[in-house]
Structure 1
């Protein structure tokens, strides 16, 4: 009876300790020993939210402080430029929404740019109009340089 009791206690201790050892090895995950490193079930990726499209007014509001400072516009001229740019940006946004053929899109963009230039010529004094045009060209050149640098890095 003593031998039976001792062997029963020994077997019970072995069984209980082996469960603890097994749990430590696999961190309680499917017994393969890798724990939390990889799940056998792939996780679905949550789609990233698309950035909210800015309205024409918001785009112009972001650019106006820089334009006002570099060109030196007074409040009346600033209101004129803001109105013209808002109208022009709104037309460009509408054009992007329409998704026309590339050649028609290009023609429409050229028409929008010409209208914007004519309205700015009428609304601004010559020196301020020229300063505005110079600012636009400098921005366009700097964007091209950045794109070229990015292409060279790749």
Structure 2
């Protein structure tokens, strides 16, 4: 009986001593919410109001004019076009790029697609040949074969020779 008198108050004292830790651990009694330790009664990152998930936005494909505008500075710089020639090249390229985009939308058979792209390329080459001088047309064809990559001009670096001013012993 004596053991029960000592054991019961000791157990109550220990329970009161550790009760705050147990409540704080579980999430009761804190000012940030009511449970599970994450701030609200629905748990972590949940709300009582349903929200629609945002669908990832698809990047809009570039238009024919935007594609040509990206390439025109390179073409103009490499070929040295005057405003009239630039207008001819730009309109021809916009028209052919637009036709290629339309072909992609149609999703034709690979063989048919290849034939149509060849026809578009032939029309484009013919229009550029008639609208540009021969040398600029050939420069354009060469640029097209290099896939519009500008070759950087190599700068001649002259190495300066240091004069020998050291005295030899």
TM-score normalised by L of structure 2: 0.63
Larger Rg: 2
Quick check: 1:119 aligned with 2:123? no
- What's 2:87 paired with? 79
Match of 1:14 among 18, 33, 49: 18
Aligned-partner SS, 2:147: helix
The answer on whether the counterparts of 2:143 and 2:149 sit within 8 Å (CA) in structure 1 is no
Structure 2 unaligned spans of 5+: 28-35, 39-43, 45-52, 151-169
Distance in 2, matches of 1:12 and 1:100, equals: 79
- What's 1:28 paired with? 37
Structure 1 unaligned spans of 5+: 30-35, 37-44, 143-154
Distance in 1, matches of 2:93 and 2:132, equals: 13
The structure carrying a bigger helix percent of its residues is: 1
Q: 1:6 Cα deviation (Å)?
A: 6.7
Number of positions where the alignment pairs a residue of Structure 1 with one of Structure 2 = 124
Instruction: Point out which structure has higher relative CO (alpha carbons under 8 A, 6+ apart).
Output: 1
